[in-house]
Structure 1
Amino acid sequence: MAKPIKTILKWAGSKVRIIEQLRPHLPKSKRLVEPFAGSCAVMMNTDYEQYLIADVNQDLICFYNHIKDNDNGFISTLKQLFIDANNKTVFIKRRNDFNCDLWHSDPFLMLCIAYYRSSLFLYLNRHCYNGLCRYNSKGGFNVPFGRHKKPYFPENEIVAFADKARNADITCLEWQDTLSLVDFNDGVYCDPPYMGSGFTQYHTAGFSDADHEALASALKDINDIQGNPITVSNSPEATELYADLGFTIHEIDAPRTISATGNRKPAKEIIAVLEGVK
């Protein structure tokens, strides 16, 4: 069995380590729609003809689109940030650069230097604590320095992503807007911030229990009205929510790759499935 393809970014809840358990439950369709892009582990480890990859995190989507549009030039820019830069002083400076208010207040500057800011996004991800992506209420990236011995530069993963992304539309949208684009022949896979996880600030908007309920209901409606197959990953806390809506629930053991407490023992997860209706 071939090893799973690793992702460019470290990411809380990345599906790389459970892809073999997840793959049999993914929708059977020509195009896969993902409203929560995250690390893009599912796209990298499946073979749909087309993908619609979306996320509310604009930094994440800009980063992916820069790779898609110019992987070779972007790799050169990224590499420069990894040279002799694994120390706290450089990290804090670059995190401050990334959080500079000018990015948000000056559209022209944001357009001109967005390439550099996307480069900083990878630098911060690979040099920060546990590879977390976390923002404060003002939109500032606030993860501390990680003290890694030798941060990995994911060149092979960037090249593989650029190749895969040729068949993908990658866009920054709220999940509600992404679901409005689901066509009759699409399959949908959702990997939202997990219910009860306590970690929802991968974007300033967060993700509440009310959001979970709204998402589950919206997915049920899509299945009822259009017949699209639906797959959702979540924590066991979401079992009742999805079971009450008629989803088939599969429970799996998932290795922890990021843990604030240092606990790396496998955790229970669910895969909730609604079959497509033809």
Structure 2
Amino acid sequence: MTKEKYGKDSVRTKPFLKWAGGKRWLLPELQKYLPNRFNCYFEPFLGGGAVFFGLQPRMAVLSDLNPELIQLYRVVRDDPDGLERLLHLHQTNHNKEYYYKTRAQKPTCPVEQAAWMLYLNRTCFNGLYRVNRRGEFNVPIGTKTRVVFENESFKELSTALSGADLKSQDFEKTIQQANKDDFIYVDPPYTVAHNFNGFIKYNDNIFSWEDQVRLRDSLEDAAARGAKVIVSNANHDSIRELYDGFGELMELPRYSVIAGPAGRRLPTSELLIFVGG
């Protein structure tokens, strides 16, 4: 099988979705460590897909627990023209009254639901994805009014996703598919031990410290099969201890951009973990 090969300076399609914990900021640094060749790319916590779009591999298995997110990616891949038409309609009608009326009326048709989700993502407060206990999207309107961006090409996004198998499933099922010379990039929720009892909300589910351990074990199995692995995780003693002996650990400084005004965004750091090359 011919393995993927990438040039470090290639121009890539940008992610179309804003997502909490997205890794656009990481790409320039991460590209120094990406493998030049691999068979299939695996990303079990897809979110905004910044690393996937940075690589644009010919073959990929992309997954996330959020079924609406995966459905959106499938529509971008399979019906980019239909999605773009609906987004232009949302943009024409957008105002405060329309936003809240649309937010309250979730469609059932896949392409309409995908356009609904992306419209809300681009016009809600801070691009957050948040649902209440009934599973209803409840983020208030934000200040952005643009729904379709200048020079945005959903056909190019569709082409980038054409070789991707998109699944809504647990990370372990995705990682279990990876074999020798495949490449796995993992960016899990940043749960650490002894922090709120080791639990964090992940979509509508709880991502626990036990899940962090299960993730590490699953990645160790994949590495033993010959897969290449890069993990982004919290730079915390419990994570360092969890991955001790697994691979090379590197601290990466950054500024927090999760929420709040720029003056309150403090310097922090993340942990990168590498196995294979």
Shorter-chain TM range is 0.7 to 0.9
Give 1:151's aligned residue. 146
- Any conservation in 1 of the 2:83–2:114 contact (CA below 8 Å)? no
Quote the residue 1:236 is aligned against: 235
Change (3 A) 1:260 1:159: farther
CA distance in 1, matches of 2:138, 2:260: 15
Query: Relative contact order (C-alpha < 8 Å, sep 6+): which is higher?
Result: 1
Over 3 Å counting, the alpha-carbon distance change for 1:64 and 1:258 in structure 2 is same
**2:23 & 2:132 partners in 1: Cα distance?**
25
Q: How does 1:17-166 map to 2 (within 5 A)?
A: 17-27=25-35, 28-87=37-96, 89-98=97-106, 110=108, 113-148=109-144, 150-154=145-149, 156=152, 158-166=154-162
Match of 1:175 in 2: 171
In 1, distance between residues paired with 2:253 and 2:138?
Answer: 30
How high is the sequence identity, in percent, across the aligned residues? 28
Map residues 194-233 of structure 1 onto 2, 5 A cutoff: 194-196=190-192, 200-224=200-224, 226-233=225-232
DSSP-derived class of the 2:105 partner: helix
Secondary structure of the structure 1 residue equivalent to 2:243: helix
Query: Compared with structure 1, are the counterparts of its residues 261 and 135 closer, same or farther at alpha carbon in structure 2 (3 Å cutoff)?
Result: farther
CA RMSD, Structure 1 to Structure 2 (Å): 2.5
Q: 1:176 to 1:243 in 2, by over 3 A?
A: closer
Label 1:53 to 1:229 Cα distance change in 2 as closer, same or farther (>3 A): same
Alpha-carbon distance between aligned partners in 1 of 2:15 and 2:265, rounded to the nearest angstrom: 20
List alignment gaps of at least 5 residues for structure 1. 104-109
Deviations 1:63-118 (Å, cap 9, x if unpaired)? Answer: 1101111111221112111223132x3222222112xxxx7xxxxxx4xx222111
Give the residue type in structure 2 aligned to 1:73.
G
**Distance in structure 2 (CA, Å) of the matches to 1:248 and 1:119:** 41
Q: What is residue 248 of structure 2 aligned with on the other side?
A: 248
How many residue pairs match? The answer is 261
- Residue 93 of structure 2 aligns to a residue whose secondary structure is coil
State the secondary structure of the residue aligned to 1:66: helix
- Sort the Cα spacing of 1:4 and 1:12 in 2 relative to 1 into closer, same or farther, 3 A: farther
For the residues of structure 2 that align with 1:17 and 1:5, how far apart are their CA atoms? 15
Deviations 1:231-259 (A, max 9, x none): 11111125424432422111112344431
Greater share of strand: 2
- 2:234 maps to amino acid: S
Q: 1:48 to 1:241 in 2, by over 3 A?
A: farther
Partner of 2:6 in structure 1?
none
**1:53 touches 1:170 (CA, 8 Å); kept in 2?**
yes
Structure 1 position 230, deviation (Å): 0.9
Decide which structure has greater helix share.
Answer: 1
| TM-score normalised according to structure 2 size | 0.84
Amino acid at match of 2:253: D
